[in-house]
Every structure is written in C-alpha cells, then in structure tokens.
C-alpha cells in the first residue's frame, strides 16, 4: 500500500485498510524502539511544525519521532511568524513544501477555522500536511487511542462499548476535536459508541453525521444520552473529557460559568463500578484532576493513560514514515 505524499487531516480521509496499515507500521516501529533497533526511515527529511496553540505530547511526539526516524522537526510558533501578520496559507504551503518534506499544523481553538486552514494549506502544498489537532478532529491522538485499545482488547473490536462523555473542568473551554474524533473513528471499527453530554455541549453536525453513517456501515452502533452513568453502564472503555460550548468559544467566561452547573460530571470510583470488570479509563491528557477525574481513577487499575500517551510517539512515527 503506497501512502507516500498523502495528507493526514482526518481519519475520515483514509480507508479502514489504510488506517490499519498505519497501525501495523506504528506497531513495527514501537517494537524497534523498544529493542533499540535504529529505524532511520526519514533520513535528512524535514517536517515543519506550526502551532497556533500550546502543546506537550503532540509537539514532543513529532519532534522525537522525526529525530528517531533520522529527520528533523522545525518548531514554528504562529504568533512569532509571518502568519501573525496575515501570510496566506497558500503562500506558506508552497514555500514550506519547497524547503522540506512535511507540514504539520495545530489550530484547534476556534470552531470553523482550523480544519479549513489546514485544507487550504494542503491544497497548495506539494508535501503532505498533518493535522496535529484542529477544531474538527485530532487524528494522531485518535490513532494512538485505537492502537492502545487494540493492544488491550485485540484487533476485533466488534461490539466493544466505549463511553465518550463530557466531564467538568474549570481550566478553559477545551476543543471539541477529541470527542468528535472518537465518535468518527471508533464507529468505523464496529464498536458500540455512546456519547454523553449535558444539553449545551452538542458536537458539530459533520462528525455526528459521520459517526451515524460509520456505525451503520460497520456493524456497530452510535447513540447519544444525557447521563454519564448511563453511558458508563457495562462499558469496556470510558473516555470522559471536558469540551466547550460550540456557540460560546468567543465567550469563554460565559461558557465556564455554565459548566459549573455540571460539576457532578466527574469520573470517580462509583462511576467506574458501573463499567465492566476489566474496563479501561482513557484520556488524551492533560486531565483536570479532581474535576474531570479523581486521582483514584486516573492513577488506579483501570487507567491506561501512560500507555496511551506513549503511543502518540509511535503513531506519529508510523504515519510520517508511510507518507513523507
């Protein structure tokens, strides 16, 4: 399967077979990393990492990944580049493509902007464009999540129940891309996906439509409930995470005030008792400890957050190695 030159902006853009090929490559590179076997598959290649938002796992997985693959990653803060002065995505895509071999972008804070911006860059770039998180999807996180789930439950996920739930957090109005990415990707692998959120926290129409279509085509299910308890009941996987109100991203203080009504939406030991005995707790991190989740859960026997976070490195490497 030849994926050279392919953009990776949403998991929806790739076939299921292509996604599995990327997971297989990621597993291969993970084993080589563990065994200390050099795998310089991108020797002398350059990837430009453009950030409109802060990052820990994403930036470091891409930078470390490029180094381990024999290439180099350039960090670009959008605020200190000519992007801040209005340089067009067309010009940037053409020029950075002529300087290197990949362009990765994180632009996730404003609904309606990030994904559109990335696709405009990709339209003019001759190098592959990678979505390090936008307003619609967080595809590298999703691939790490899927890789982790398959490592624990095996490749056949038909009928496994995943609860994707909103959870309270006082820190800031977080992007919707993680829950949206989860409902789009996990329904493609035959899973029973339950989305739970208070009434104000609806997701974008596009990902919701895609999730329903994916579930129908792949033998799984997709439903929406208004109770975290109901979502957690008999779940194999729980993924409780805060996100903002779509219509209020330009009014973060108002959104955070509304969220205070739902402080009881927390993943604690009582809620984990509703899940299956061998269920797992997942989070893309950073989690708001004491708000989204209790320490007893995130540090407890159900938690796989560090395995999940580690797989961010391996899936980034796998996809870059196949496409760059």
In a domain, 131, yes or no: yes
Q: Is 49 exposed, middle or buried (0-12, 13-18, 19+ CB in 10 A)?
A: buried
Q: Which of 112, 162, 102 is nearest to 132 (CA)?
A: 102
267-296 pLDDT, tens digit each: 999 999 999 999 999 999 999 999 999 999
CB neighbourhood size of 90 (10 A) = 13
In a domain, 2, yes or no: no
Domain CATH code at residue 105: 3.40.50.1370
Residue 187 and residue 124 in one domain: no
Nearby residues of 296 by Cβ (< 8 Å), 6 or more positions away: 268, 269
Residue 16 and residue 106 in one domain: yes
In a domain, 120, yes or no: yes
State how far the Cα of 231 lies from the Cα of 319, in Å rounded to an integer. Answer: 32
In a domain, 1, yes or no: no
Residue 272 and residue 294 in one domain: yes
Residue 177 and residue 245 in one domain: yes
State how far the Cα of 87 lies from the Cα of 266, in Å rounded to an integer. Answer: 42
Q: Which of 138, 149, 308, 119 is nearest to 236 (CA)?
A: 149
pTM of this structure: 0.97
Q: Which of 293, 279, 295, 274 is nearest to 230 (CA)?
A: 274
Residue 152 and residue 125 in one domain: no
Residue 297 and residue 170 in one domain: yes
In a domain, 5, yes or no: no
Residue 127 and residue 90 in one domain: yes
Residue 26 and residue 39 in one domain: yes
Residue 119 and residue 147 in one domain: no
59-113 pLDDT, tens digit each: 999 999 999 999 999 999 999 999 999 999 999 999 999 999 999 999 998 999 9
In a domain, 3, yes or no: no
Q: Could you say which residues of the chain have pLDDT below 50?
A: none
Which tokens in the block code for residue 130? 């990678």
Structural domain including 224 reads: 142-308
Give SS3 for 50: strand
Q: What is the pLDDT of residue 1?
A: 84
Residue 192 and residue 114 in one domain: no
In a domain, 157, yes or no: yes
Q: What is the pLDDT of residue 299?
A: 98
Give SS3 for 153: helix
Residue 102 and residue 117 in one domain: yes
Q: What is the pLDDT of residue 127?
A: 98
In a domain, 6, yes or no: no
Q: Give the count of domains, the chain.
A: 2
Residue 159 and residue 279 in one domain: yes
């Amino acid at each position: 399967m030849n994926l050279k030159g392919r953009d990776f902006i949403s998991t929806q853009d790739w076939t299921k077979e292509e996604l599995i090929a990327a997971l297989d490559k990621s597993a291969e590179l993970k084993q080589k990393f563990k065994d200390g076997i050099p795998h310089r598959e991108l020797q002398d290649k350059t990837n430009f990492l453009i950030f409109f938002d802060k990052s820990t796992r994403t930036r470091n997985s891409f930078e470390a990944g490029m180094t381990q693959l024999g290439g180099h990653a350039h960090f670009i803060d959008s605020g200190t580049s000519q992007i801040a002065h209005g340089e067009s995505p067309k010009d940037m895509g053409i020029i950075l493509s002529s300087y290197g071999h990949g362009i990765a972008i994180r632009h996730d804070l404003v609904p309606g902007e990030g994904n559109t911006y990335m696709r405009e860059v990709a339209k003019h770039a001759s190098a592959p464009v990678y979505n390090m998180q936008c307003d619609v999807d967080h595809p590298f996180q999703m691939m790490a999540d899927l890789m982790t789930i398959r490592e624990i439950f095996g490749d056949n996920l038909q009928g496994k129940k995943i609860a994707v739930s909103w959870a309270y957090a006082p820190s800031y109005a977080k992007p919707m891309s993680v829950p949206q990415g989860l409902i789009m990707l996990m329904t493609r692998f035959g899973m029973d996906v339950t989305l739970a959120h208070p009434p104000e926290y609806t997701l974008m129409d596009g990902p919701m439509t895609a999730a329903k279509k994916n579930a129908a085509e792949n033998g799984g299910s997709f439903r929406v409930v208004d109770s975290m308890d109901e979502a957690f009941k008999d779940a194999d996987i729980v993924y409780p995470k805060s996100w903002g109100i779509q219509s209020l991203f330009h009014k973060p203080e108002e959104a955070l005030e509304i969220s205070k009504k739902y402080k009881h939406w927390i993943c604690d030991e009582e809620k984990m008792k509703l899940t299956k005995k061998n269920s797992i707790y997942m989070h893309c991190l950073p989690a708001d400890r004491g708000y989204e989740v209790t320490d007893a859960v995130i540090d407890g026997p159900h938690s796989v957050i560090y395995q999940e976070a580690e797989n961010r490195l391996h899936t980034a490497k796998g996809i870059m190695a196949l496409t760059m």
